[in-house]
A and B are shown apart, each in its own frame.
Chain A
Amino acid sequence: MKSYDVVIIGGGPAGLAAAISSKKNGIDSILILERDKELGGILNQCIHNGFGLHTFKEELTGPEYAARFIEQVKELNIEYELNTMVMDISPDKVVTAMNRTEGLFEIKAKAIVLAMGCRERSRGALNIPGYRPAGIFSAGTAQRLVNIEGYMPGREVVILGSGDIGLIMARRMTFEGAKVKVVAELMPYSGGLKRNIVQCLDDYGIPLKLSHTVLDIKGKKRLEGITLAEVDSKGKPIPGTEEYYSCDTLLLSVGLVPENEISRGMGVEMNPITSGPNVNESLETSIEGVFACGNVLHVHDLVDFVSEEATTAGKNAAIYVKNGKERKSEGHEIMLNPIDGVRYTVPKNINVQRMDDSITVRFRVGGVYKNCYVSAYFDDERVIRRKRPVVAPGEMEEIKLTKEQLLKYPDLKTITVKIEEA
């Protein structure tokens, strides 16, 4: 059986940055396993720009952003296997993988970084009634057909869901000659970034209908049209608001789901809110030496933050390999407690001794709050209170904690993160 110090599951942005980070932190024996025919993951089909503003202080396309990391992986002589599917991982870190050339094979790892990314929610998960014709695509599937393969999935398009991929695809389909009639969003607010609403919808005169959903799908073989309706505050369609749109294409951008079948299979403890693993300050899961980063951990808006998170995971995987049981682990564990509008935090707990000088705690909120405060209470004492003009579910929020700050509270048990309205 082959063995490596660090095995990274997935060669997308998270896997690439984690591998580079492990290497830079002194590990030479690294293997990236990628199921697609090239490295880069979903970035390869994200040919629009806007990537890398935080990381490189410039605007790159998805493939350009990926290329910067792929080049480093190659320069650093990090091994990778393409077209290779990880079938499962045992709790003692034996990875079973499969490809055309080697068949079914096992790899023993000292540390594992889970970086499998996410998948799109499907029509089925929404239980949208109607027929089941051709012409209904998740936005990412349509993006692949158009951007990678050059095929038009249709001519007249309705988009359900205002997630970022849906917004990007509204613009892309317009560029490629399709008519995008409307983007409908079930919630009273968009699920995507503000800048995407402006640059992808407003600039092209594509209407965004908030609090709307698809009520019916018509067309037995190929989609012929859909009925939209307004929904009330409970998400129930309001009778009399039905509106029919003839269209041959319905794109769905209704959420992303971390792909954790392998994590579950190996017994990693999961967070029901994020559908990703619970992790500590080192981005280590409930299984020692198994780390997670990127969209498999929680769904991100910006790849820059994925890269940053993966750098942390890769570094900690390296530390784990080098120090193993000798790793600093004694001492002070602090739990993070998300309440009052804060849906979850990554990480879930912090070991003060083991943490870096500072840590970014990332989270999402459950609704739109204006002129509010993001607050953190160290047990009962409010220590952080940051004014925010607006927070929304579509944009990930963060607070920063420093080691110096936490060391001042030797008895601290819980940090409560919440939204306080002004």
Chain B
Amino acid sequence: MLELIIFSSLNGLLYGLLLFLLASGLTLIFSMMGVLNFAHASFYMLGAYFGYQISRYVGYWPGLLLAPLLVGGIGALVERFGLRTVHKHGHVAELLFTFGLAFMIEELVQMVWGKIPVDYRVPELLNFSAFTLFSTTYPAFRIFMLLMSVAVFIALLLLLTRTRVGLIIRAALSHPHMVGSLGHNVPLVFMMVFGVGCGLAALAGVIAGPALVTQPAMAASLGPILFVVVVVGGLGSLAGAFIASLGIGLIQTFAVALNISVADVVGHLGITLTRDSIGGDLWVATVAQVAPIIPYLLLVLVLIFRPKGLMGDRDT
């Protein structure tokens, strides 16, 4: 049991931090430009695939720098020539544009790299087990992922709270017109934030690609979870996104590890429920099976009962 708790906590923390790498960019873009970027997870996928492609020629480490830069550049171009064109048609058009973009990126990735997962390997340098606890080993690469995510988090925090650029970004979050009136180039700020957000997503892709599976479905499976994080955390709140990321990461990881169903619990009370009783499959479904539902349930509940999210300052 202790083993389960320790490893699930570590993995949950790791998953949560990865989510935050993605969610931080998404929530900045969402609260600043009002665009819910459907393609955000697609940039994460592009990062993983670019990293894989680079690692085939020059090894893993250059990809860690190059892939996010490349994807960030693509993101900035998308904002400049795509989103800005669509902007005049309103928020629905912007949302639909990113939706179509996500659709196209998935198709392109399938075309270029195939439908089956690619063999994106953990670098040799980190291909050993960091420690062994209760006869289960923990790979060093996961520790690296953990440290990387924490480092990026701290860097982002410092950038936003301690620099002039961060000051302008935070001002543009709440008062874009005022910032523009003060002579700052708000469209440029938008473009940079969009690019950096996409770059961060790509960095998460390069970090997570070798440990998780790099495949064309990785964007579609992660994308909706990101929205959950952004909404639950609250619009415009990086701290909220951080808490929500960790919370959802931990909930998901622990739920997957639990093999208990309603039938098991009431079984202790002397009531026997099987697949054939009224309600059928509901009672015998284990927590692990229900795990994929939990975030969406949370999303729906939060949007209805607390639209501001955990730490947000306005409604979604």
- Do A and B actually bind? no
